Structure 1
Amino acid sequence: MKTAAIAQRYLDFFEKNDHVIVPSASLVSDDPTVMFNIAGMVPFIPYLTGVVPAPHPRIADVQKCIRTNDIEEVGKTARHGTFFQMLGNWSFGDYFKEQAIRYAWELLTSSESDGGFAFDEKDLWVTIYETDDEAESIWRDTIGLKPERIQRLGRADNYWHTGQPGPGGPDSEIFFDRGPAYGKDGGPAVDDSRFMEIWNLVFMQDFIQNVQSGTEFDIVGELPSKNIDTGMGLERVAFLKQGVENMYETDQVRPVLDRAVELSGRRYGAVHEDDVRFRVIADHVRSSLMLLSDGVRPSNEGRGYILRRLMRRSVRAMRLLGVDEPVFPALFEASRDAMKESYPVLEKDWAVLSGAAFAEEETFRRTLAQGSTILDLALNETKKGGGSTLSGSEAFLLHDTYGFPIDLTLEVAEEAGLQVDRGSFDTLMQEQRQRAKADAKGRKRQLADVSVYREFRAHGETGFAGYSDLQTESRVLGIIIDGHPVQTASEGDVAEVILAETTLYAESGGQVADKGAIIGAGFELDVLDVQRPVAGLISHTVHVASGSVAVDDRATTVVDAANRRAAKQAHSATHLVHAALRDTLGQTATQAGSLNRAGYMRFDFAWSQPLSTDTRSEIEDIVGRAVNDALEVTTRIVSLDEAKEAGAMALFGEKYGNVVRMVDIGGPWSRELCAGTHVSTSSEIGLVSLVGESSIGASNRRIEALVGQEAFRELAAERTIVSQLTAALKTPRDQLAARIDELTANLKAAEKRVAQFEAKEREGRVPALVEAAQQVGAYRVATADLGAVGSADDVRTLALSVRERLGTDAAVVAFGGVASGRPIVVVATNDAARAEGAKAGALVRIAAGVLGGGGGGKDDVAQGGGTDASALNTALTAVVSELQGA
Structure 2
Amino acid sequence: METAEIARRFLSFFEKNGHTVVPSASLIAEDPTLLLVPAGMVPFKPYFLGQRTPPFETATSVQKCIRTKDIEEVGKTSRHATFFQMLGNFSFGAYFKEQAIPLAWELVTTPVADGGFGIDPERLWVTVYLDDDEAAAIWRDKVGVRPERIQRMGMEENYWSMGVPGPCGPCSEIFYDRGPEYGVEGGPEADENRYIEIWNLVFMQYERGEGGDKSGFPILGDLPKKNIDTGLGLERLAAVLQGVDNIYETDIIGRVLHRAAELAGVRYGDDHGQDVLLRVVADHVRSAVMLVGDGVKPGNEKAGYVLRRILRRSIRNMRLLSGTDTAYMHDLTAVSIDAMKDIYPDLADKADVIHGVIDTEEAGFADTLRSGTTLFTRAAERTRHAGGTVFSGSDAFQLHDTYGFPIDLTLEMAAEQGLTVDETAFRELMQRQKDTAKADAKAKKLGNADVSLYAQLLEGAGATDFLGYTDVLSESAVRGIVVGGVSSPAAREGEKVEIVLDRTPFYAESGGQLADTGTLTVEGRAVVDVEDVQKPLPGLFVHRGTVRAGEIAVDDTVHAAIDTGRRHAIERSHSATHLIHSALRNALGPSAGQAGSENSPGRLRFDFTADNALGESRLSEVEEEVNTVLSGDIAVRTEEKTLDEALKMGALAMFGEKYGDRVRVVEMSDYSVELCGGTHVPSTARLGIVKLLGESSTGSGVRRVEALVGVDAFRRLSKESALVGRISEQLKSPREELPERIDSVVSRLRAAEKEIERLRAAQVLQAAGSIAERARRHGPALVVAEQAPEGAGGDELRALAADVRGRLGEAEPAVVALTAVPKDRPVVVIAVNKAAQKAGIKAGDLVGVAARALGGGGGGKPDIAQGGGTDASKVDEALRAVEARVAGA
TM-score, normalising length: structure 1: 0.54
Deviations 1:44-65 (A, max 9, x none): 1001111100110011110000
Contact conserved, 1:593 with 1:603, CA < 8 A, in 2?
yes
- Asked whether 1:620 is paired with 2:623, we answer yes
Change beyond 3 A, Cα 1:699–1:178:
same
Q: Distance in 2 between matches of 1:371 and 1:56?
A: 54
The letter for the 2-side match of 1:602 is: D
Q: Secondary structure at the match of 2:24?
A: coil
Q: Residues 208 and 317 (structure 1 numbering): CA distance in 2 closer, same or farther, change over 3 Å?
A: same
Indicate the residue corresponding to 1:287 in structure 2: 287
- Tell me how far apart the structure 2 counterparts of residues 379 and 151 of structure 1 sit (CA, whole Å): 51
- Secondary structure of 2:286 counterpart: helix
Within a 5 Å distance, the mapping from 1:788-867 to structure 2 comes to: none
Mapped to 2, the partners of 1:358 and 1:169 lie a distance apart of: 45
User: Equivalent residue for 1:99?
Assistant: 99
* Alignment partners' CA distance in 2, 1:176 and 1:208: 31
Query: What displacement does 1:605 show?
Result: 3.9
Deviation, 1:705, is 8.6
SS of 2:608 mapped into structure 1: strand
Distance 1:616 1:386, change over 3 A: same
Q: Which residue is equivalent to 1:422?
A: 419
Q: Determine the structure 1 residue equivalent to 2:524.
A: none
Aligned residues: 535
- Cα deviation per residue 1:87-139 (whole Å; 9 max; x = unaligned)? 01111110111100111010000011111001111111111111111111101
Residue 276 of structure 2 aligns with which residue? 276
Give the whole-Å Cα distance in 2 for the aligned partners of 1:231 and 1:378. Answer: 47
Q: CA deviation at 1:242?
A: 0.6
1:374 to partner: Cα distance: 3.1
For residues 21 and 15 of structure 1, what CA distance do their matches in structure 2 show? 6
The equivalent residue for 1:347 is 348
**Bigger Cα displacement from structure 2, 114-123 vs 211-220:** 211-220
Q: CA deviation at 1:210?
A: 2.7
Q: Distance in 1 between matches of 2:667 and 2:96?
A: 50
Q: What corresponds to 2:333 in structure 1?
A: 332
- CA change 1:68–1:594 in 2 (3 A) is farther
Distance in 1, matches of 2:61 and 2:348, equals 22
Specify the SS of the correspondent of 1:188.
Answer: coil
| Equivalent residues in 2 for 1:650-689, closer than 5 Å | 683-685=671-673
Aligned 8 A contact 1:572 1:682 in 2: no
CA 1:698–1:330 in 2, change beyond 3 Å: closer, same or farther?
A: farther
Which residue of 1 is the match for residue 608 of structure 2?
603
Distance 2:361 2:284 in 1: 14
Change (3 A) 1:615 1:266: same
Amino acid at match of 1:333: A
Matched AA of 1:193: N
* Contact kept? 2:580, 2:622, Cα under 8 Å: no
Q: What whole-Å deviation, never above 9, does each CA across 1:736-788 have from its counterpart, x for those lacking one?
A: 999xx9xxxxxxxxxxxxxxxxxxxxxxxxxxxxxxxxxxxxxxxxxxxxxxx
Contact 1:78 1:246 in 2 (8 A): yes
Cα contact 2:585–2:592 (8 A) shared by 1: no
Distance 1:361 1:266, change over 3 A: same
Shift of 1:700: 6.9
Instruction: Specify the alignment match of 1:241 in structure 2.
Output: 241
What SS class does the counterpart of residue 118 from structure 1 fall into? coil
Distance 1:281 1:94, change over 3 A: same
CA contact (8 A) 2:281 2:314 kept: yes
**In structure 1, what is the equivalent of residue 496 of structure 2?**
none
Sort the Cα spacing of 1:329 and 1:111 in 2 relative to 1 into closer, same or farther, 3 A. same
CA offset at residue 405 of structure 1? 7.0
| Correspondence for 2:30 | 30
* TM-superposition CA deviations, 1:278-336 (whole Å, max 9, x none): 00000000000000000000011111011000000001111111232111111111111
Q: Is the 8 A contact 1:608 1:701 kept in 2?
A: no
Structure 2: segments with no counterpart, 5+ residues: 436-537, 539-575, 600-604, 634-649, 651-665, 675-683, 723-889
Report matched runs for 1:496-575 at 5 Å: 574=581
Q: Distance in 1 between matches of 2:225 and 2:170?
A: 15
- 1:170-210 CA-to-partner distances (Å, cap 9, x unmatched) read 11111111111111111112211111111111111112223
Say whether 1:135 aligns with 2:132: no
Name the structure 2 match of 1:356: 357
Contact 1:629/1:683, CA 8 A, preserved across alignment: no
Q: CA deviation at 1:266?
A: 1.1
For residues 667-698 of structure 1, the C-alpha deviation after alignment (integer angstroms, 9 at most, x for no partner) is xxxxxxxxxxx999963559697999775458
Give distance in 2, aligned partners of 1:87 and 1:421.
41
Q: Retained in 1: the 8 A contact 2:125–2:187?
A: yes
Show the 5 A alignment for 1:204-243. Answer: 204-243=204-243
Displacement of 1:168 in angstroms is 1.3
Aligned to 1:14: 14
CA distance in 2, matches of 1:177, 1:115: 22
Deviations 1:239-274 (A, max 9, x none): 110111111111111111111111111111011000
Contact 1:127 1:174 in 2 (8 A): yes
- d(CA) in 2 for partners of 1:302 and 1:99? 40
SS state of the match for residue 251, structure 2? coil
User: How many Å separate the matches in 2 of 1:407 and 1:197?
Assistant: 31
The answer on whether the counterparts of 2:389 and 2:420 sit within 8 Å (CA) in structure 1 is no
Distance 1:214 1:318, change over 3 A: same
- Measure the CA separation in 1 of the matches of 2:426 and 2:185: 40
Q: CA deviation at 1:410?
A: 9.6
Inter-CA distance 627–334: structure 2 relative to 1 (3 Å threshold): farther
Q: Do the aligned residues in 2 keep the contact of 1:395 with 1:425 (CA within 8 Å)?
A: no
- Do residues 166 (structure 1) and 166 (structure 2) align? yes
C-alpha separation between the residues in 2 aligned to 1:117 and 1:373? 52
The residue number in structure 2 matching 1:44 is 44
Q: Is the 8 A contact 1:184 1:194 kept in 2?
A: yes
Q: Could you tell me which residue of structure 2 aligns to residue 577 of structure 1?
A: 584
Give the counterpart letter for 2:77 in structure 1: T
In 1, Cα distance between equivalents of 2:70 and 2:275 = 18
Measure how far apart 1:620 and its partner are.
2.6
**Structure-2 change in CA distance of 1:386 and 1:238 (3 Å):** closer
Distance 2:210 2:191 in 1: 32
Q: CA deviation at 1:422?
A: 2.1
Other-structure match for 1:400:
400
Mapping of 1:122-201 within 5 angstroms?
122-201=122-201
Q: Find the aligned partners of 2:235 and 2:581 in 1 and give their Cα distance.
A: 41
Contact 1:410 1:420 in 2 (8 A): no
Contact 2:27-2:37 at 8 Å conserved across structures: yes
2:298 matched residue in structure 1: 298
Structure 2: distance between partners of 1:289 and 1:262: 20
**Separation (CA, whole Å) in 2 of partners of 1:597 and 1:27:** 29
2:671 is matched by which residue type in structure 1? S
Q: State how far apart, in whole Å, the 2-side matches of 1:113 and 1:435 are.
A: 65
SS at match of 2:118: coil
Query: Which residues in structure 2 correspond to 1:427-506 (within 5 Å)?
Result: 428=425
Q: CA RMSD in A?
A: 4.7
Q: Is the 8 A contact 1:355 1:699 kept in 2?
A: no
CA distance in 1, matches of 2:205, 2:606: 48
Distance 1:15 1:380 in 2: 61
Are the structure 2 counterparts of residues 69 and 177 from structure 1 closer, same or farther at C-alpha, using a change threshold of 3 Å? same
1:324 counterpart letter in structure 2:
D
Aligned mates of 2:369, 2:429 — CA distance in 1: 22
User: Alpha-carbon deviations, 1:64-88, whole Å to 9, x = none?
Assistant: 0000000011001111100000001
**Corresponding residue of 1:476:** none
1:627-678 Cα distance to aligned partner (Å, 9 max, x none): 9999xxxxxxxxxxxxxxxxxxxxxxxxxxxxxxxx9xxxxxxxxxxxxxx9
Shift of 1:425: 3.6
